[in-house]
Structure 1
Amino acid sequence: MLRHLIPVFAFFPTVAHAEPLYVRAGRLIDPEAGQVLSAQVLQIEDGRVVAVRADGALPAGAKVVDWSAFTVLPGLIDCHVHLADVEQSNNVAEPLLHSAMEIGFIGARNAKKTLMAGFTSVHDVGSFRAYADVELRNAINRGDVPGPRVSAVGAYVTIPGGGGEVTGFSPDVSVPGDMRAGVVTDTADVTRKVNALFQNGVDSIKLIATGAVLAQGTEPGQIELSGEMMKAAVDVARQRGSWVTAHAHGAAGIRLALQSGVKAIEHASLIDDEGIALAKAKGAWLDMDIYNGDFIAEVGKRDGWPADMLRKNDETTEAQRAGFRKAVRAGVKLSYGTDAGVFPHGLNARQFRYMVRFGMTPMQAIQSATTVAAELLGWSKDVGAVSPGHYADMIAVEGDPLSDVTVLERVVHVMKGGEVVK
């Protein structure tokens, strides 16, 4: 049964206030202007910011959230998460051990952890159970479960046995059909499957352009989707007023995906100078999970993850970080994406320190998770900033993240749509 498409503004439920709400901020980080303001007050009505000004006298009896002891900034955005799925383990068949119903509850738990960590918006780039992310998005929007605003892709568009498939188990094991909703064999199949994804309510499309580090039987440098197949997906998405991101590790696959018109590249682990220049020329985003490699190396070795996964991680981690540093210097648009779900949800902010270590200023790292990420998602008018007109999505932290970006790993308060949720 087809799911009904939801109007875009339905993705942003608000909390209606009978009277204005005022938030006092001791320090306010404004990523749009790249500056910090002291002693500010934000006026919120119907879940949106309507005014920002120097703190001062407020109306008698005003409803006030006093964050004057904290640094306040927009709610953070992670452009690469997997909420509606099991976390990575040493068992390649783990996704087959959980029912679709159980995945729904797991997704709800992960969504709450993510929100409590200060990430009020996410791009969920796929789960093995088709449309699990779509249903989670809808449940959050209805108020059934707490969680961030979600942009969902529904399923991985991948070749048979490719980087978006459950692989590594006995060949006589049958994989459920809902785990293969995005498996494609040719260009016509891509057009058909991508249209079906949109008909079932997805926001954007995720292509698996190359092999994957964490899928057995695939190699990161190997191209899996042809340029014609990727262009077919891009064409359908454009017709639908949407866009496409591509999982691509290898340099040739990255170039092919960019030439095919994708808006963003996930991972970009083995990107070369030509790929960086092409991304810059096309105004594409790179979404590089440069924390992830250390987690895989440490926990994967400790817990006995498959040897080929650990080998591929070793071959890509430092190369990815070198490419990230080059991309920063080149001025490529770099969005904040972590691949949460490989590591535990709620630890998303650990990547900030890596982004600073590998070339960004703290302000650039914050912008990558606010204004830059919002632009990638097409949500700049609603999230990623706290200027008038934006949703009142914001966090409060102790200390100064511009001096020590790791304070973002310890979010004290979270507001979403004018409601304090932490």
Structure 2
Amino acid sequence: MKKQLLSTSIALLCLTAFNTHAVTYLSAKAMVDVKDGKLIKSPLITIDDGVITNIEQNKKPTLTKDDKHIQLPDLTLMPGLMDMHVHLTSDPTVPRSERLGQSVPRMAIKAAHFAKKTLEAGFTTVRNVGAEGYSVIAVRDGINAGDIVGPRIWAAGPSLGITGGHCDNNRLPPELKYTSSGVADGPWAARIKVRENIKYGANAIKFCATGGVFSKGTKVGAQQYSFEEMKAIVDEAHMRDLPVAAHAHGTSGIKTAIKAGVDSVEHASFLDDEAIALAKEHGTWLSMDIYNTEYTLTYGEQNGVDEENLNKERQVSKRQRDSFSRAVKAGVKMVFGTDAAIYPHGDNAKQFSRMVEFGMTELQAIQASTINSAKLLKMDTQLGQIKTGFAADIIAVKANPLKSIKTLEAVPFVMKAGVVYKNQL
């Protein structure tokens, strides 16, 4: 008799657990199919345990006790946006001289703050391409553990670079003998630095192939690493299946990085015909930050940007936008990368209108920030689309972004993995 009662109790418990399994339904005015560029009217999306399990049209859900139905009758759904070039530890409103005194823990707190701001702007996935002290890796792990709120993060550790190059710190006097933690000279030293980054949790690698705009004493177009050094970095990272990003403004550095096998070239300011042809031949993604120029030239001086750096921005800006237009016309593969931290975090979507202005269609710009970025991260079977079996990373906007791209600059609804993080309705 006791055994029978126990069996009955267990069965009832199992039945109760089954019946209280909650499903979320999301319905809206329309949904963008970012692969085909179609607008799907009256979608009903079923979400179970953070994953999209079904998509129907013109349906109403049958709700059980614990199910939820989120209704957005005036909004259009999109997959969560993705930015492949951010620096969450940096704040453009803080003078660069002041940033020299920030500790790694302080950087991590900044990154946590900006991660939440970025997610609320509709960016459910970002790639952080370089940060001191593995600070953003700690933030990523905190987000994954549920301690803090933020997007999915692919995080590089300290950016690799040569002594005195763009990824070194040249602003301190020689008697301090300071070298940035990512500096590595020679192929084997570079390999060791990649291994060190991976040891401490990096799931992406970034190195500086040329000089840059915001460093001291580097020529923005000058190549830094040799082919042998770049190849060593790429091979070491690819053995562990990590994507590699190369900061490269100058033409020779861009070409060398592509030949070395990088997954993406960041900035890609001074493209020539050969560089474009190489990018197409190798299937290399370009990540070109064509929005932030106005912010730098307008607010840079008051934010403590040196005249040397402002002059380099003036040299780069028009050339980079011309290169972007030529690359788009040639059909080079593009992802969405903004260099967030050069402008305020959360304004990432302002780049979309620039991409359209300089040659992309609205659909191409959206694809750069969805399916293309997912392909770069080798996550295109899980991220970048509203599709059955994909993560429920979904945003909603007030207008059809295929006709009005600027609607992405004001996102009232954000969901990541089935959890609503913003609902300003």
Distance of 2:176 and 2:46 partners within structure 1: 57
What is the CA deviation profile of residues 214-256 of structure 1, one whole-angstrom value per residue up to 9, with x for unaligned ones?
0011111111111100000111112112231100000111001
What is the CA deviation profile of residues 119-158 of structure 1, one whole-angstrom value per residue up to 9, with x for unaligned ones?
000000011x231111111011001110000001111000
Query: How much has 1:302 moved relative to structure 2?
Result: 4.4
The residue type equivalent to 1:35 in the other structure is K
Counterpart residue number, 1:307: 307
Percent of aligned positions that are identical: 39
Query: How much has 1:192 moved relative to structure 2?
Result: 1.1
Q: Structure 1: state its 5+ residue gaps.
A: 1-16
In the alignment of these two chains, the number of paired residues is 401
What is the CA deviation profile of residues 309-331 of structure 1, one whole-angstrom value per residue up to 9, with x for unaligned ones?
11110111011111111111111
TM-score (norm 1): 0.92
TM-score (norm 2): 0.92
Tell me the secondary structure at the aligned position of residue 325 of structure 2.
helix
Counterpart residue number, 1:93: 97
* Higher alpha-carbon Rg: 2
Counterpart residue number, 2:200: 200
Tell me the secondary structure at the aligned position of residue 71 of structure 1.
strand
Counterpart residue number, 2:118: 114
Counterpart residue number, 1:102: 106
**Where do residues 310-321 of structure 1 align in structure 2 (5 Å cutoff)?**
310-321=310-321
Distance of 1:401 and 1:53 partners within structure 2: 21
Query: How much has 1:169 moved relative to structure 2?
Result: 3.7
Counterpart residue number, 2:6: none
The residue type equivalent to 1:355 in the other structure is M
Distance of 1:197 and 1:77 partners within structure 2: 23
Counterpart residue number, 2:4: none
Counterpart residue number, 2:414: 414
Matched, 1:66 2:71: yes
The residue type equivalent to 1:115 in the other structure is L
Counterpart residue number, 2:244: 244
Q: Structure 2: state its 5+ residue gaps.
A: 1-19
What is the CA deviation profile of residues 56-78 of structure 1, one whole-angstrom value per residue up to 9, with x for unaligned ones?
13104442011121011000000
- Does the Cα contact within 8 Å between 2:285 and 2:333 map onto a contact in 1? yes
- Does the Cα contact within 8 Å between 1:237 and 1:243 map onto a contact in 2? yes
What is the CA deviation profile of residues 393-418 of structure 1, one whole-angstrom value per residue up to 9, with x for unaligned ones?
01011122122211100000000000
Tell me the secondary structure at the aligned position of residue 85 of structure 2.
strand
**Where do residues 158-177 of structure 1 align in structure 2 (5 Å cutoff)?**
158-175=161-178
> Aligned Cα RMSD in Å?
1.4
**Where do residues 329-348 of structure 1 align in structure 2 (5 Å cutoff)?**
329-348=329-348
Counterpart residue number, 1:295: 295
Query: How much has 1:172 moved relative to structure 2?
Result: 3.1
Counterpart residue number, 1:378: 378
- Does the Cα contact within 8 Å between 1:287 and 1:337 map onto a contact in 2? yes
**Where do residues 26-175 of structure 1 align in structure 2 (5 Å cutoff)?**
26-61=29-64, 62-83=67-88, 85-88=89-92, 91-127=95-131, 129-175=132-178
What is the CA deviation profile of residues 350-395 of structure 1, one whole-angstrom value per residue up to 9, with x for unaligned ones?
1000000000111111110000011111111221111011100010
- Does the Cα contact within 8 Å between 1:336 and 1:369 map onto a contact in 2? yes
The residue type equivalent to 1:40 in the other structure is P
The residue type equivalent to 2:50 in the other structure is G
- Does the Cα contact within 8 Å between 1:397 and 1:410 map onto a contact in 2? yes
